[in-house]
Structure 1
């Protein structure tokens, strides 16, 4: 996939996420608990849309961090990947997004719309080097890999949000789904091993109970 195609796929994921978050069912359920235990629908919506905001911040920052690491190494290093739902790293994420959602759906959606407008311009601008520093992690990714991580977050949490309010999960184009599934499969292989993932995808009679990436 070319960089232009990757950018186009990312922007389509942004559009689908905004469309889902703008549905009246989301607004009506804002204060209820979502499909993610401990997170309100509003908090989950904020978390979903903040992937766009994080991309804006990354693209606005100077690309002067350390050399980028590989995409799967990013998930090997990230503390939240193997943390339990009640571990501090995940609890702090839930609390932050729940608190941020207290301003209500109108404010969250207005801010997300501004992020979407900004990112559509920023993501097209050339970068040298073509990397993004992730300050909350302390390392860099290539811009393409960073966009893949944000698409994964939007696909996974888009499903969470749809399930929380009884809507159909968005149907993402192949340009989004192919890199996201590649990423999830790669993380799952590192966690469970090649054989477990092959069996989970093709041989349910010998498959382990779970091959979940996270």
Structure 2
């Protein structure tokens, strides 16, 4: 059985690591653009605060959560962006010198995120055994909700780390991200309008501590193998597969690596291969548009 208490501890630790990465940064750093188009570091943290808020609604106020579903259905491609912007607007509106005071925004945004994630952890711990929480297009157990929040925190933390030029040390918490990535194989195909695979796929990953993590049946012909960090970067769409040391054996496994998506919602755009990003950077530096 999944240990919800341990999951929530790992979620807290993952959040604290990202918190420490940004907490002492000056306001100017929070305005830096991240690899997610149109999103600054402030947007990344605001998105986490917003998603924690709607997850809290799913755990404590189902009618209010269903009202948010109507908003998502009206704009499936943009509701997450709008949610992050709403959080930022609210934070700026409450700044001591009014909505144009950027100095107070990081501290207020951090406080908003900290308060929300603590409330969500407490709410998930209190959900009665066997209950499921509504979510976008599905329903989740409290454990799966905690895993999804950890996955998103880690993924958006990667965007922040990339922006700041920080290399994070992978931890054993990646196992949660990797397991969710494996479990969402069918979702990856469905969200791209493809039929669910009718053959099993096995995943064999080299963990940060050198041990092996395996998911799937041992007799599966289709196989994905490589570093756990690379697999997590792939399923959260933080790196293109050509920049990763993952090996796919079999047609289904190979197709999956092109569309893997551990998060809910419409198909993510993914990231360009490093070669493409380098060419674009050179053109921009030369004064030409990509």
Same fold (TM over 0.5): yes
Structure 2 counterpart of 1:11: 12
Structure with the bigger percentage of strand: 2
> Equivalents in 2 of 1:13, 1:111: separation in Å?
17
Structure 2 counterpart of 1:158: 157
Structure 1 counterpart of 2:176: 179
> Equivalents in 2 of 1:158, 1:56: separation in Å?
21
TM-score, normalization: structure 2? 0.53
Instruction: Spell out, residue by residue over 1:136-179, the C-alpha distance to the aligned partner (whole angstroms, 9 max, x if none).
Output: x254211111111111111111101111222233644x2x3212
Deviates more, 1:150-159 or 1:190-199: 190-199
Q: Which one scores higher on RCO, CA 8 angstroms, separation ≥ 6?
A: 1
Of 233, 253, 260, 1:213 maps to: 260
- Could you say which structure has the larger radius of gyration? 2
Q: 1:56 to 1:144 in 2, by over 3 A?
A: same
Q: 1:96 to 1:120 in 2, by over 3 A?
A: closer
Q: 1:140 to 1:12 in 2, by over 3 A?
A: same
Shift of 1:120: 4.1
Structure 1 counterpart of 2:30: 30
| Runs of 5+ consecutive residues of structure 1 not aligned to the other structure | 66-78, 81-87
TM-score, normalization: structure 1? 0.68
Q: 1:139 to 1:38 in 2, by over 3 A?
A: same
Structure 1 counterpart of 2:210: none
Structure with the bigger percentage of helix: 1
> Equivalents in 2 of 1:179, 1:41: separation in Å?
24
8 A Cα contact 1:43 1:99, kept in partner: no
Q: Secondary structure at the match of 1:123?
A: helix
Q: 1:119 to 1:170 in 2, by over 3 A?
A: farther
Structure 1 counterpart of 2:118: 117
Shift of 1:181: 0.6
8 A Cα contact 1:56 1:119, kept in partner: yes
Structure 2 counterpart of 1:61: 61
Of 88, 97, 101, 1:101 maps to: 88
> Equivalents in 2 of 1:170, 1:19: separation in Å?
14
| Runs of 5+ consecutive residues of structure 2 not aligned to the other structure | 66-71, 93-104, 202-221, 227-244, 262-290
Q: Secondary structure at the match of 2:184?
A: helix
